[in-house]
Structure 1
Amino acid sequence: MATIPPVTRLSTRLIRILGFNPSPMTLQGTNTYLIGSGTRRILLDAGDPDVPDYISHLKQVILDEKVIIGDIIVSHWHHDHIGGVDDVLNAIDNNESCRVWKFRRTDAPEPTLENTVCCELKNGQKFEIDGATLEVLHTPGHTTDHIVLLLHEDNSLFSGDCILGEGTTVFEDLYEYIKSLCIIKNTKPTVIYPGHGNVITDPIDRINHYINHRNEREAQILAVLQSNPNVEFKEMDIVKVIYKNTPENLWMAAAYNVNHHLRKLTIERKIIHEHDAWKYVHSASL
């Protein structure tokens, strides 16, 4: 795992500023991206709240580049992407003119910001600034409001939490998530800039890996149930079998993903759900 520096110039139109919020779920921290080559730029995501090191490095980049942040685009509602927005707005001189953009949630109220109200992103919406044309693609699954950004100039893609620089991600809806991976794959990105982890230089291989990984996990889960017909399993029972080589501090996240596979298999009538558990019965199989 290559170390991600606090600030990295990735191209003439792109600077990555690390969020300084490492954790098992955020890896080395949230990647935020300052996009564009002119004096007015776009910031993608803002990390966690109350992280002085992040704000310090962001302010230094703004000073060194002699730029302003005209827009902040939030990839989705999770706190490590939207939580730092108020701190960023407090740190910049043009906070009253800086717009914050986010796709609307369909499953819960929107997060509340102290200093502004988010403008609503739309699927297919474009942002044009010096050096960059960004297109918004709605990619639900990780969350209902998740979006990725396609940078038209070099057909690169900012994947948020749909695809990570290492490992796999969690999701709220597996069916929608797989559809979103296919949307990303169809853009044929040249490179992927993830919300966590290092730059992905083999994007199509990585997307295929994600899709194949989910299919393989589903087959493993189904095999556990099929080998124990009429035995009731809870998520953690299955995790202890198929994730036995995964560190235990990640088992809760694994159980979350297993739950979504089980829900999908139940919809497909390959297993049944009763007594708050799942089991395979021959009559449930298609």
Structure 2
Amino acid sequence: MAAVIPAVTKISSRIIRILGCNPGCFTLQGTNTYIVGTGKRRILVDTGDADVPQYINHLKSVLKHENIDLAHIIITHWHHDHIGGLADVLNLKEKTGHAQIWKYPTSEERDLNLKVNIENLKHNQELSVEGATIRIIHTPGHTTDHIALHLLEDNAIFSGDCILGEGTAVFEDLFDYMNSLEAILEQKPLVIYPGHGNVINDPEERIRYYISHRMEREMQILETLNNNRQQAFTEEELVKIIYIDTPVKLHKAAEHSVHLHLQKLKREDKVTNINDRWRLNDNIAF
């Protein structure tokens, strides 16, 4: 069982974690939000979900007792459990009303109905407050607008939903997601502060596990196609061959995973899809 995350944790002299108080199957114990910096004006990373008074009360209490105003609010991606609480946070006007709000632009047309001005972040952009310099790393895959934040002073990464404190993450695009994992690995972080779950103190080991877990499934798909080069398979047929130890009731979820793997392999010019059936390209040798 994962260690219980307190509502408020002073992780270090420059990081305070405030739990979003929105537990669930996908949010685990809740969304982790972070106040970063050492001076009066600091950065808030993510805002939790909408209509969670318990979270707003904890945030208000921390801002008051630590004598903090927010200079910046950075949203890691558009999912409601990370951006939904923005309006409620901004209602704490004395402490948050003058903050600049930042998010990486999304390629999807989504009406988030936020009615506030949000500045567009850029890859490698830096935002600074006293005691903290944050560099933005665009890490698409979970969503197109997903970012990780590199806290330069501590060589720490705020990973959003790209890497979780427990279990593995879901994603929309596996090709982009794998590249994003490699991009985070290249930073050689000493610690990862995830969007859900506890602090990750073995970043390299965790990231390499994420990568190897996905590559293992990919190899199973490639081997199946390689062993049957004269055939082409539907995604459902591949699931029945590869997921032999998985209960049938979970096969639809497995199909989605196989679909994302095949889309990645297609972008790498390793497989071809004809009439919803997949085969290995002739130029791919094992």
- TM score, norm. by length of structure 1: 0.88
Identity %: 49
Deviation at 1:36, TM superposition (A): 1.0
Partner amino acid, structure 1, of 2:195: G
Aligned partner of 1:45 in structure 2 is: 46
Aligned partner of 1:279 in structure 2 is: 278
Task: Write the distance in 2 (CA, Å) between the matches of 1:56 and 1:144.
Answer: 32
Give secondary structure in 2 for the equivalent of 1:280. Answer: strand
Task: Write the distance in 1 (CA, Å) between the matches of 2:80 and 2:254.
Answer: 20
Deviation at 1:224, TM superposition (A): 4.4
Deviation at 1:159, TM superposition (A): 0.7
Equivalent pair of 1:239/1:258 in contact (CA under 8 Å): no
Task: Write the distance in 1 (CA, Å) between the matches of 2:30 and 2:244.
Answer: 24
Equivalent pair of 1:239/1:254 in contact (CA under 8 Å): no
Taking a change above 3 Å as real, the CA distance of residues 246 and 150 of structure 1, as seen in their structure-2 partners, is farther
Aligned partner of 2:134 in structure 1 is: 134
Aligned partner of 2:167 in structure 1 is: 167
Deviation at 1:242, TM superposition (A): 2.8
Query: Is residue 27 from structure 1 mapped to residue 28 from structure 2 by the alignment?
Result: yes
Taking a change above 3 Å as real, the CA distance of residues 268 and 196 of structure 1, as seen in their structure-2 partners, is same
Deviation at 1:192, TM superposition (A): 0.4
Aligned partner of 2:86 in structure 1 is: 85
Aligned partner of 2:156 in structure 1 is: 156
Deviation at 1:239, TM superposition (A): 7.7
* Deviation sequence 1:17-72 (CA, Å, 0-9, x none): 11122222211111110111111111100111111111111111112212112211
Equivalent pair of 2:160/2:194 in contact (CA under 8 Å): yes
Give secondary structure in 1 for the equivalent of 2:94. Answer: coil
Partner amino acid, structure 2, of 1:17: I
Deviation at 1:284, TM superposition (A): 7.9
Deviation at 1:213, TM superposition (A): 1.3
Partner amino acid, structure 2, of 1:197: G
Deviation at 1:193, TM superposition (A): 0.3
Equivalent pair of 2:272/2:281 in contact (CA under 8 Å): no
Task: Write the distance in 2 (CA, Å) between the matches of 1:274 and 1:70.
Answer: 53
Deviation at 1:94, TM superposition (A): 4.1
Give secondary structure in 2 for the equivalent of 1:93. Answer: helix
Taking a change above 3 Å as real, the CA distance of residues 217 and 88 of structure 1, as seen in their structure-2 partners, is same
Task: Write the distance in 1 (CA, Å) between the matches of 2:101 and 2:215.
Answer: 37
Equivalent pair of 1:44/1:75 in contact (CA under 8 Å): yes
Equivalent pair of 1:157/1:191 in contact (CA under 8 Å): yes
Worse overlay, 154-163 or 256-265: 256-265
RMSD over aligned Cα atoms = 2.6
Equivalent pair of 1:7/1:16 in contact (CA under 8 Å): yes
Task: Write the distance in 2 (CA, Å) between the matches of 1:95 and 1:253.
Answer: 41
Deviation at 1:122, TM superposition (A): 1.2
Aligned ranges for residues 201-212 of structure 1 at < 5 Å?
201-212=201-212
Equivalent pair of 1:74/1:102 in contact (CA under 8 Å): yes
Equivalent pair of 2:221/2:242 in contact (CA under 8 Å): no
Give secondary structure in 1 for the equivalent of 2:165. Answer: coil
Deviation at 1:234, TM superposition (A): 2.8
Taking a change above 3 Å as real, the CA distance of residues 155 and 282 of structure 1, as seen in their structure-2 partners, is closer
Structure 2: gaps spanning 5 or more residues: none
